Structure 1
């Protein structure tokens, strides 16, 4: 057994470089979240079937992230351990972003709706390839006492990217005069150019992380993380044994994750129809009027707003968590998110909706950081990637469940009034906050 040494602390800028690529990845992911319902509706998707198309994302994540996690645990080459997956995932995501809004050009090959769904699948697969290695990279490189700070910086960068991505179509339309309405079956120029800019930003920011971050070579990594002490038994475990050997805290966090990600999925799918009906008074099923497109742009601003609040909360989340604990920070943040969703129903002015986004943003910042900070302390370093990948099951399963039932609930319970889907999201986020009480951290 080799001697073990303490993992060195990193400077602020080294921690910044670790996660800077996530800014670009989230830029693209935010563009997708704010505009995919709008794009697919332009290509002919029915309001009640939108949640089915959105199932592409979590289903891909369910398959891809555990595989990427297990593979990255065993990958050591000149680029590093996690960097190859981050780099090639970003290239594929950029390609999908360039092609998705131009699906109407593929009409001679296949229906635009089908092509759009395929490009959506390519984008989301690529995003999933990059997400998990970024999470593991922070755990790989930072000692436990810096992980609150590391994941808070990551949350901050994620939300800066989300602000830029969410607001870009609105900025192009209202500041630069780019067309925001397109004929049926096509996508507005404001959205097309947003995806072009987003793809370039994604690739450049990921290159920054890849070239600015030097991962520890195997021998050094093993000393810092005491891998030899763990790996003799860990390496003999099958995938099923690995799954069954997950620490209890992962199962406890899964309850919280179910409620919170069920709520987030409802927001991403139904915010545009909900806000257009509730504030702009559009008809149920309207997906092409000027009012609907104006509401779609405003939803981008609201998504940018909650990302701004999330970024600001990320700046103090580390200090709050160190003062009152990770669990309490997580719980209070999720409750704030639930109240934010519910308040939307009582607001009739689009500008006042920004107040609701404060609670949503606080919850989002905590969701991006706290479960990973809690979990990373409990995981063996030799299987950090595969366990982080398996933990993604707790992110995608609630989205799949939400996707399967949300359309039926909207149609048969809410009779097409999408504002009630956001109210349901609020109830689930409150349940997520209360369920944090079941999480038990080790001392």
Structure 2
């Protein structure tokens, strides 16, 4: 049995909620460094405050994926309950965020916002695979990418547009400007309504229907792939590595954020030992055993794409943390975080974010699908990543802030491909009944590089490039090149 083919209206309804989710992410990405600096934080400490976002994704997405694979609430469905819960919490977070008067409150709200967005976002990735035939996966993820781009344009442009309408873009020291406040409030409303549209206009396939499509019940992965036969030597090695990182922080006076990296390594080792013991005791349906077992036994193509994701998202997280400070300092000469130059630089960074997302929306529906049909998805992704590397390198040579638009074109092409090609390749290769958990686990390789950037980049900048944040763009260009090289190891999918 084949799933029915979806027309353009069906593709629209399936992915429209992502428009709202991405408005939330865009407001977060373009404005959180600005909010933190407004509340008195230094440039060197920004990565530490951003740790909350990737850490939340690391913990939330596999758990949500695990449970969404096993959820069925009748008319509300399988993935849509998570869409709704995440949207309500994210809208509340966006309302409260710009009211922050203290740094700790803003950091907590960033954690809550990112957790909420991840609760909605992870099932949306699996939702495309649930609802579409394999020969429509590229089109489905392209439409999703287009909505991501359009939503990000809207979210990124809010403060600039409000400034143009006469809303105050400056405020007293330690106070978030009105442009940012109203942007977050409007974004929260748009997010909730967009997600609600997808919930109301779609009907999910029941577990029985999904099992009948393409023989997927027989193709489903086992809950735990021989986890009970695994040795605890490897988990002990992870614990040892984490302890070594913590010891190095103390011995060499490294940045305190490195403690988190060590803690995560130790935590994964302990979780792996617990999962092995659960499996040996016959509890292979336990959430921890299932998640660790699926992570350890992921398909080979997923492992290869994981390395590509690792490098790709390292560059993206560098961009999100440092673009606003780079633009404000290098192109607007800002020195005072409450001054006009700093806030004008923050607005222009939002415009640049809007441009690369707008380019991504257009590229996802036009340029990239045409290129993929001619040279394949793998080569298309390589070309796009190299275009992004060239865009980041442009920050080192461009002297007029308006010409940074050229750099954003290359970055936008790469962003469109990162959001579409790996997921289209992966969704066609994964068992349907495990799509949620595998998409959640795939996010680990989005989150880990972000944690590394947040823990390591601050140290690198302080030691080698103090007060010169523009050099972060050179790092971003380099890791995009590494991502393109890693993509050479990924085989071109057959038949889709």
TM-score range, shorter chain: over 0.9
How far 1:442 sits from its partner (Å)? Answer: 4.8
Matched, 1:413 2:464: yes
For residue 446 of structure 2, give the secondary structure of its aligned residue in structure 1: helix
Give the structure 1 partner of residue 93 of structure 2: 96
Correspondence 1:255-270 to 2 at 5 A: 255-270=307-322
Contact 2:310–2:448 at 8 Å: present in 1 too?
yes
Give the structure 2 partner of residue 210 of structure 1: 199
CA distance in 1, matches of 2:302, 2:467: 36
Q: Deviations over 1:27-54 (max 9, x none)?
A: 1110110000000111121110000111
CA distance in 2, matches of 1:415, 1:101: 29
How far 1:234 sits from its partner (Å)? Answer: 4.0
> Mind listing any 5+ residue stretches in structure 2 that lack a counterpart?
225-283
Q: Deviations over 1:36-89 (max 9, x none)?
A: 000011112111000011111110000000000000000001211100001110
Give the structure 1 partner of residue 181 of structure 2: 192
Give the structure 2 partner of residue 83 of structure 1: 80
2:330 to 278, 285, 288: 278
Contact 2:376–2:492 at 8 Å: present in 1 too?
no
How far 1:231 sits from its partner (Å)? Answer: 4.4
1:113 to 103, 118, 127: 103
Q: Deviations over 1:213-253 (max 9, x none)?
A: 11112221211153431348447674232122210111111
For residue 345 of structure 1, give the secondary structure of its aligned residue in structure 2: coil
CA distance in 1, matches of 2:489, 2:328: 38
1:243 to 295, 302, 324: 295
Give the structure 2 partner of residue 228 of structure 1: 217
Give the structure 2 partner of residue 173 of structure 1: 163
How far 1:440 sits from its partner (Å)? Answer: 2.4
TM-score (norm 2): 0.85
Contact 1:260–1:432 at 8 Å: present in 2 too?
yes
Contact 2:36–2:103 at 8 Å: present in 1 too?
yes
Matched, 1:349 2:346: no
Matched, 1:435 2:486: yes
Alpha-carbon distance change, 231 to 329 in structure 1, aligned in 2, over 3 angstroms: closer
Matched, 1:294 2:344: yes
Contact 1:225–1:381 at 8 Å: present in 2 too?
no
Give the structure 1 partner of residue 253 of structure 2: none
Give the structure 1 partner of residue 25 of structure 2: 29
How far 1:298 sits from its partner (Å)? Answer: 0.4
Contact 1:249–1:441 at 8 Å: present in 2 too?
no
Give the structure 1 partner of residue 249 of structure 2: none
CA distance in 2, matches of 1:318, 1:442: 15
Correspondence 1:126-137 to 2 at 5 A: 126-137=116-127
CA distance in 2, matches of 1:362, 1:98: 32
> Mind listing any 5+ residue stretches in structure 1 that lack a counterpart?
105-111
CA distance in 1, matches of 2:79, 2:13: 14
Give the structure 2 partner of residue 307 of structure 1: 357
Alpha-carbon distance change, 224 to 418 in structure 1, aligned in 2, over 3 angstroms: same
Aligned length: 429
How far 1:293 sits from its partner (Å)? Answer: 0.6
CA distance in 1, matches of 2:356, 2:383: 16
CA distance in 2, matches of 1:162, 1:442: 30
How far 1:320 sits from its partner (Å)? Answer: 2.0
Contact 1:252–1:440 at 8 Å: present in 2 too?
no
After TM superposition, the structure 1 stretch with the greater mean CA deviation from structure 2, 240-249 or 113-122, is: 240-249
CA distance in 2, matches of 1:118, 1:385: 27
Give the structure 2 partner of residue 43 of structure 1: 39
Contact 2:170–2:340 at 8 Å: present in 1 too?
yes
CA distance in 1, matches of 2:222, 2:431: 11
Give the structure 1 partner of residue 13 of structure 2: 17
How far 1:350 sits from its partner (Å)? Answer: 1.5
How far 1:287 sits from its partner (Å)? Answer: 2.0
How far 1:100 sits from its partner (Å)? Answer: 0.4
